Chain A
């Protein structure tokens, strides 16, 4: 029995690695698209982070350095979340388009190994891209990171990844149910998540009902934790109040994501949606 379980586990790990391998090939084959998309993200982030300087130029009194970093962290977290959702959700949509979805879903690969493989790739690639984005955009700005504890900020980002991957799994099912608009619905989920989480402003400015919703959003704790680490130099111990909710939401979100995806897959199998659409 134990031998059988070892064989099964090994098979799952090999399948998990297959998903990571496939996504690595895809990134390599679309490397120039990735470069172009990165440049777009840099430009998009710059349009946001210069708002603080713009406000100062317009006569508002504010701590430009601090507000620029607040905006920068908001834009970078938005980009990270966007990439995570894009990889997890669009891969399913992409597979529908290419027709490989039938081959992937008829393979003896468990759905948790499949989805966690996509999540793991998304996190690794997303973190690398986010660090690069932060570095490149910072070069355009006249800001100083006097107290920043970047290590602690990375711990917050890593802790948030579990819950973001779980939510990504829930949105990944959308292209199975709605081939035409499923992916866009994933972007809507991303936007809704960030608007209630204080992406470019404190949560306290939101209407009360939105503040209640923000308590359940992992992005709230990611943004708060990352800002405390980068602006005030708060270490991992001091950030525990933001880290534990992230881990707790992750513990709930990943099984919930798998369950939602399984439900969607059953629906797709019943209604004949598990097939190519291109």
Chain B
């Protein structure tokens, strides 16, 4: 397992069917295929952290959802530790977990309840999770006295910590982080970033971080890729990217590579 890439993506393509607005009774709404990802190729070595930068709608979430087995591809291939994501999804599911921009929990249930049932989906018995949950909550700095409170009473930062705890509870070897700090206050953001750093130091986890936070990408990742309109236009270290685009910052390199500002956002898929 150690000699093969953690993630190997080759010419990966995903299209969605979009309906044109077409107002009026006499105008039928036309359908057209829109490429969310086209011919994306890259690989991650075991233990590496790679950040993918891109605006909303660039295809970051589509990439994460494809690797999470939540989408069927329209071409190319993707392997996680040698397992074909689309032909052997169950094998991939045992290796992967993710944290997305929305914490996504049953809001009335407590952190302990949410973690407990989801651990069961990964084969963790009640005895195993009873021991593991307090430990993981302590690691993410979650106050023990609030374990029984409904998720809806917790701040977004707290909820995102629980999301990280949920992902780590089942010890994934590939962690997919889809804008994990978007919308967090600066303090929570730093805490979550610090925790991601500690995961890298203490676990043998490979991380794919999709973000539009340039500083976060530079601080956490070994390499940075830029995804623009569904195409991965570059993937290298931050210094190499800056040199390649004659830029002083990653943000300037992004601008030079895409010709766009982050503010020029469009609807996500």
Given contacts A30-B108, A98-B105, contact A105 B113 (CB under 8 A): no
Given contacts A99-B104, A102-B65, contact A17 B120 (CB under 8 A): yes
* A22→B117 CA distance, assembly (Å): 6
Mark interface residues in B70-104 (1 if CB within 8 Å of A CB, else 0): 11100000000000000000100110101010111
A:193-249 near B, CB below 8 Å: none
Do the beta carbons of B70 and A25 come within 8 Å of each other?
A: no
Do the beta carbons of B70 and A275 come within 8 Å of each other?
A: yes
Whether, in the assembled complex, A108 has its beta carbon less than 8 Å from a beta carbon of chain B, the answer is: yes
For A276, the chain B residues whose CB sits under 8 A away are 102, 104
Given contacts A22-B117, A108-B90, contact A98 B124 (CB under 8 A): no
Mark interface residues in B120-147 (1 if CB within 8 Å of A CB, else 0): 1111110000000000000000000000
For B69, the chain A residues whose CB sits under 8 A away are 105-106
How many cross-chain pairs have Cβ atoms below 8 Å apart between A and B? 100
B:1-28 near A, CB below 8 Å: 16-17
* A100→B62 CA distance, assembly (Å): 17
* A11→B70 CA distance, assembly (Å): 21
* A122→B98 CA distance, assembly (Å): 29
Do the beta carbons of B68 and A102 come within 8 Å of each other?
A: yes
Do the beta carbons of B16 and A14 come within 8 Å of each other?
A: no
Do the beta carbons of B123 and A10 come within 8 Å of each other?
A: yes
Partner of A107, one of B93, B102, B105, B125: B93
B67 to chain A: closest residue by CB: A106
* A16→B227 CA distance, assembly (Å): 39
Given contacts A26-B106, A102-B104, A266-B72, contact A14 B118 (CB under 8 A): no
Do the beta carbons of A274 and B120 come within 8 Å of each other?
A: no
Do the beta carbons of A269 and B117 come within 8 Å of each other?
A: no
Whether, in the assembled complex, A256 has its beta carbon less than 8 Å from a beta carbon of chain B, the answer is: no
* A274→B61 CA distance, assembly (Å): 13
Whether, in the assembled complex, B200 has its beta carbon less than 8 Å from a beta carbon of chain A, the answer is: no
For A106, the chain B residues whose CB sits under 8 A away are 68-70, 93, 96, 98
Do the beta carbons of B107 and A98 come within 8 Å of each other?
A: yes
For B71, the chain A residues whose CB sits under 8 A away are 269-270, 272, 274
Do the beta carbons of B123 and A103 come within 8 Å of each other?
A: no
Mark interface residues in A244-278 (1 if CB within 8 Å of B CB, else 0): 00000000000000000000001001111011100
Given contacts A98-B107, A108-B93, contact A274 B70 (CB under 8 A): yes
Whether, in the assembled complex, B244 has its beta carbon less than 8 Å from a beta carbon of chain A, the answer is: no
* A270→B123 CA distance, assembly (Å): 27
* A276→B101 CA distance, assembly (Å): 12
B7 to chain A, nearest CB (A): 15
For A26, the chain B residues whose CB sits under 8 A away are 106, 108-109
Whether, in the assembled complex, B56 has its beta carbon less than 8 Å from a beta carbon of chain A, the answer is: no
Given contacts A25-B109, A271-B16, contact A102 B123 (CB under 8 A): no
B174 to chain A, nearest CB (A): 12
Whether, in the assembled complex, B206 has its beta carbon less than 8 Å from a beta carbon of chain A, the answer is: no
Contacts A/B (CB < 8 Å), 15 sampled: A11-B123, A14-B120, A15-B120, A18-B118, A19-B120, A21-B116, A25-B109, A99-B103, A100-B106, A107-B118, A108-B93, A108-B122, A266-B72, A272-B16, A272-B62
Chain A residues with a Cβ under 8 A of chain B: 10-11, 14-15, 17-19, 21-22, 25-26, 29-30, 94, 98-100, 102-110, 266, 269-272, 274-276
| Nearest 10 Cβ contacts at the A-B interface | A18-B120, A99-B104, A107-B121, A22-B117, A108-B93, A11-B123, A29-B108, A106-B68, A109-B121, A269-B72
